[in-house]
Amino acid sequence: MNRRRAHGHKMEKSREEQKLVNKGKPAWRRGLKAEPFKHRQDPEFFAGACMMATQAISEFYAQGSTTMLLQMLYRNAYNMVLYKKGAELYSAMETAMASEVQSLWRTLNDAAPAKGGAAFLQELLAKWNQHVEAVKMTRDMLMYMDWTFVPTNRKTPIRELGLRLWRDQLTSSDEIRERLIEAVKRRGREDELVAAVNKMMTELGPDVPGFFFQRV
């Protein structure tokens, strides 16, 4: 095959093409969206794969493990990204993770209003660890997406997304902040619980500890 510029090729239309031009515009011009890779596309498969990923994420949060095979989950996610369904998968993952984080915080807020100090911190850290583990597992499951789809489409990588969701919850209300500051004050600086909380905050971002403790 000649890779160099082929001279003298004029855009000539065959007679048949010429006739067709007047008939109408092709599908994508008429506003219909041509869907890529029709032959290998099975909407049901993709919907199922998305469901399974969502379910797996909620299992990660609920029990720190799943009954499904990692290699199957991984392969499903891989196929979705391969056949250009990365956006759907990503948003499904984002929604699932956000709602899981929210329900974690809801139980935290519901369970501990009476408890103060140490119990609150312990609970908070336990939930944080649960979250970190779940994010790690989610990333292992969706590793292919994190490697390919995420950078080319300038999405937030999964690990960072996990941190952001947690940070948003942590800094969302004044009530939580006051409770946290109160609890930390009561424990004093040299406590290991406080150290763990501090570690969590530095992981969340360099400005997060300042947000809480500047005014202490």
Our finding on whether 37 is near other proteins (CB under 8 A) is yes
Which positions ≥6 away from 214 have C-beta within 8 Å?
A: none
Our finding on whether 215 is near other proteins (CB under 8 A) is no
Our finding on whether 126 is near other proteins (CB under 8 A) is no
Which position among 46, 83, 211, 213 is part of the footprint of other proteins (CB under 8 A)? Answer: 83
d(CA 158, CA 140): 10
Q: Considering the complex, what minimum distance in angstroms separates the CB of residue 194 from other proteins?
A: 21
Q: Which among 201, 158, 203, 161 has a CA at the least distance from the CA of 181? A: 201
152-181 positions binding other proteins, by CB under 8 A: 152-153, 159
Our finding on whether 114 is near other proteins (CB under 8 A) is no
Which position among 45, 46, 78, 211 is part of the footprint of other proteins (CB under 8 A)? Answer: 78
Question: How does DSSP classify residue 22?
Answer: T
Query: How far from 12 is each of 7, 8, 17, 89, 130, CA to CA, in Å?
Result: 14, 11, 10, 44, 66
Our finding on whether 64 is near other proteins (CB under 8 A) is yes
Phi-psi region of 33 (alpha: psi -120 to 50; beta: other; left: phi over 0): beta
Our finding on whether 30 is near other proteins (CB under 8 A) is no
Kindly tell me which of 32 and 114 has the beta carbon lying closer to other proteins: 32
Query: How far from 119 is each of 39, 71, 146, 167, CA to CA, in Å?
Result: 57, 39, 36, 21
Our finding on whether 34 is near other proteins (CB under 8 A) is yes
Our finding on whether 36 is near other proteins (CB under 8 A) is yes
d(CA 135, CA 138): 5
Which position among 17, 44, 110, 192 is part of the footprint of other proteins (CB under 8 A)? Answer: 17
Kindly tell me which of 45 and 112 has the beta carbon lying closer to other proteins: 45
Which position among 15, 43, 69, 216 is part of the footprint of other proteins (CB under 8 A)? Answer: 69
Our finding on whether 144 is near other proteins (CB under 8 A) is yes
- Give the 3-state secondary structure of residue 208: helix
d(CA 38, CA 18): 28
Please give the residue ranges that form the binding site for other proteins (CB under 8 A): 1-6, 9, 11, 13, 16-18, 20-21, 23-29, 33-39, 64-75, 78, 82-83, 136-137, 140, 143-144, 147-148, 151-153, 159
